[in-house]
Amino acid sequence: MALIGSGILGPGQAEYVDLVLQSGVTYSIFVDASDPSVDFDLYVFDERGGAVAQDTTTDSDALCYVTPLWTGPFRLVVKAARGMSTYTVSVNA
């Protein structure tokens, strides 16, 4: 995988990306904001809605590493905590 999504978010808005991850593989999930003054957060949830990882720092970009215990669907939530910007989401094994 590589680029799996893109869009634009304003303050308080969120977008979701659903994907299947493989058991035992470590993935880096990266949200790249085009405006360095925004604050984008990233949350990763498993198929049961359990939080797997999150990056809620005040940086414009967000990064999480995930190594699933099972193969299955996961949901990425990209949220604009501050500001408005376009962004891309990349997932790499």
pLDDT digit string, tens, across residues 22-45? 999 999 999 999 999 999 999 999
> Starting at the edge strand that comes first in sequence, how are the strands of the sheet with 51-55 ordered?
14-21, 72-82, 39-45, 51-55
CATH number, domain of 43, equals 2.60.120.380
Domain that holds residue 17: 3-92
Task: Please check the confidence at residue 19 and state whether its pLDDT lies above 60.
Answer: yes
What is the pLDDT averaged over residues 56-79? 96
Give the number of domains in the chain. Answer: 1
Q: Please, which pLDDT band fits residue 8 given cuts at 50, 70 and 90?
A: very high
For residue 26, give both structure tokens.
């470590």
Give dist(CA 24, CA 71) in Å, integer: 8
pLDDT given for residue 32 in this prediction: 96
Q: What is the pLDDT of residues 78-88, one digit of tens each?
A: 999 999 999 99
